[in-house]
Structure 1
Amino acid sequence: MKYVGEAPQEELATGERSTRNRVARSILDHGPSTVSDLAGRLKLTQAAVRRHLDALVADAVVEPRDQRVYGSRGRGRPAKVFALTDCGRDAFDQSYDKLAADAIDWIARGAGGGARGDAAVTAFARDRIATQAGAYREAVEDAAPDKRTEALAKALSADGYAATARSAPNQQGEQLCQHHCPVAHVAEKYPQLCEAETEFFSELLGTHVQRLATIAHGDGVCTTFIPHGAGHGPPPGTSRVGGTPEPDTPQTDPPQISQQTEHQASESTAGRNPA
C-alpha cells in the first residue's frame, strides 16, 4: 500500500507507512473503530492516530462515519468511527482468483470432466466475453477502419487491461498489447479464457488475428498481431462471439507472420511486468 505526502527522510517515511498500514490493518481486523479504539490497540497517542487517519482519508483508504448506537443513546453526538472503503479493502490480500478458479473447476466437474468439462469451460469463457462485448463493439464500430485497433485498446484500458496499439515490427499490421490482465492467474489454469478473447478480437475486427504472447503463460504482455485491413466485417461464416464457421464455408488460413517478427515481439515483451 503506497501513500503520498510522506516525510522526505527515507527512514521516517518508511516508519510512517508502516504505522499507517498498522492503522488500516487494525480497522480491517476489528471493524469500524474510533480514534480512542485505535490508540489503545496500537499503543499510539490519539494525536498520532488522527494524523494517520487524515492521510488515509485523503487517499480514500478509510472514511469517517457516525457510530451506530444500538438501544438507547445518551446525550451528545455519537462518536465518529473510521471504516475501510472498497479501495482500502482491495489493498489487502483477496481470494478472488481462488474463488474464480474454484467456480470454473465446479463447472468442469459438473459437465463430467475430460473433454466435456473442457467444452463447458470454453462455453463459459465465450459467454463471459459476450456479456462484455457491447462497449467494445460500440467503440470499434464508431472508429474509422484504420483506428479500430486503437479504439479497442482504449476500451480494454477502461476495463483495467492497460492496453495500447502500435505498429508491428514487420509493418504488415498492428500489435494490440495488454500490459495487465485481471484474470491472468485463472487463465494460467484455464487458457480457454485467452482463447475466447482472441476469437472475440477476430470477430470484432473482421479478420483472423494471431496471439503472440500472454501474461498467463509467463510473458510480460499479452500481445495480439492484427494484420492491416482489419475492421471490414466479420470473418466468413461468423456472426457472434465464439461463432463457428458454417459447414460449407471455405476457410482461409490465418495470416502468418515471420519467425523474425515473432522473435522481435517476444524480445519486446519479455521481462516486462504488468502495469
Structure 2
Amino acid sequence: MKNARKAPQDPTAGQAAGTPAPAPRVTAAREEERGTRNRVVRSILDHGPSTAAELALRLQLTQAAVRRHLDTLVAEGVVEPREKRVYGARTRGRPAKAFALTDCGRDAFDQAYDKLAEDALRWIARCAGGGEQGEAAVAAFARARMAAQAEGYREALEAAAPDKRTEALAEALTADGYAATARSAPVGEQLCQHHCPVAHVAEQFPQLCEAETEVFSRLLGTHVQRLATIAHGDGVCTTFVPRSKPRRITKTTTASASTAGRNPA
C-alpha cells in the first residue's frame, strides 16, 4: 500500500488564538524595497538630478520600478521633480522630468556643518589673537548669536503670566528644535532641553552654553543656574530657575561678563 501523501504543515499551527502569524516574506520584501529606494537616492546624490530612464539604466532596473520608487520618495519629501535642462535644440515632445534631492533628502547623508562651525569659531579666536583674547571673541560671538535668537522668544514670554514664563520659554525653544520642557522642582522650576542642535560644537566651545544661560536669565528676569548640559556629556541640558519675584525682561543685545551657568567642571 502506498503511503498517503503528507499534508503540508500549517505555519500557524500551535499559535495561540488571536496571535497574528509572522510574515517573514513580507518583511524581507519591504526591506528590499527600502534598500532599492536608498540606491535610487544615492545615485541621485552621486550623479546629480536624474531622469527615471537614467536611473533605470544606472541601477539596472525597469523604468516602471524606478518611477514607483520615485513616486514614494516624492511623497516623503526626499526628492522633487524638476524640468530637465536641455542644451542645444529642443526636440519635440514633453521634456523628461529630472529628480533632484531636497534639503530633507540631503540631510539623510553625512553633513559637515559641525566641522564648519568649529573651524569658523577657531578662526575667530585665532584672528583675535588667541589665548584669553580669542576666548573673549568667541564669547562675544556666542552672546550676539543668542541675543538675536532671543528676540524671537521675547514676545512669547512678555505675553505669558510671570509664573508661566519658564513654560513659555520651553515652548519657544521646542519650536527651534530643542525639545524643551518645564517642570516643577523644589523652590523653583527646571527647564530641560532634551536635544541640542549645536551640542558637538558646544563641546569644544562652552561659551555657547554660557551665553545661552545668560540669555535665559535675562528673559526670565531672574538668576538661573545650569545644572547639566548635553555638550558636557549629560543626557539633558537642565537649567534651574529659582522661584522668586521676577524682574522686568531686559534686552539681550548687551554683552555681560557674568559667568552664571558655566558648565560644571
**TM-score, length of structure 1 as denominator length:** 0.82
Residue from 177, 201, 215 that aligns with 1:200: 215
Partner SS, residue 165 of structure 1: strand
Partner SS, residue 226 of structure 1: strand
Q: Which residue of 2 aligns with 1:260?
A: none
- 8 Å contact kept, 2:183–2:190: yes
Change (3 A) 1:130 1:74: same
Number of positions where the alignment pairs a residue of Structure 1 with one of Structure 2? 238
Task: Find the aligned partners of 1:243 and 1:230 in 2 and give their Cα distance.
Answer: 24
Task: Find the aligned partners of 1:243 and 1:150 in 2 and give their Cα distance.
Answer: 25
Change (3 A) 1:231 1:14: farther
Residue 45 (structure 1) shift: 1.4
Partner SS, residue 166 of structure 1: strand
Percent identity between matched residues is 72
Q: Which residue of 2 aligns with 1:163?
A: 180
Task: Find the aligned partners of 1:71 and 1:127 in 2 and give their Cα distance.
Answer: 50
Residue 240 (structure 1) shift: 3.2
Q: Which residue of 1 aligns with 2:92?
A: 75
Residue 242 (structure 1) shift: 5.4
Partner SS, residue 82 of structure 2: strand
- 8 Å contact kept, 2:224–2:239: yes
- Residue identity matched to 2:219: L
Please report the RMSD computed on the Cα atoms of aligned residues, expressed in angstroms. Answer: 2.2
* 1:240 to 2:255 alignment: no
- 8 Å contact kept, 2:143–2:255: no
Deviating beyond 4 angstroms after TM superposition, the runs of 4 or more aligned structure 1 residues are none
Task: Find the aligned partners of 1:239 and 1:66 in 2 and give their Cα distance.
Answer: 48
Task: Please list every run of 5 or more consecutive structure 1 residues that lacks an aligned counterpart in the other structure.
Answer: 1-6, 246-250, 256-275
Change (3 A) 1:58 1:231: farther
* 1:32 to 2:44 alignment: no
Task: Find the aligned partners of 1:34 and 1:160 in 2 and give their Cα distance.
Answer: 35
Residue 121 (structure 1) shift: 0.4
Residue from 113, 130, 136 that aligns with 2:130: 113
Q: Which residue of 2 aligns with 1:270?
A: none
- 8 Å contact kept, 1:203–1:241: no
- Residue identity matched to 2:184: S
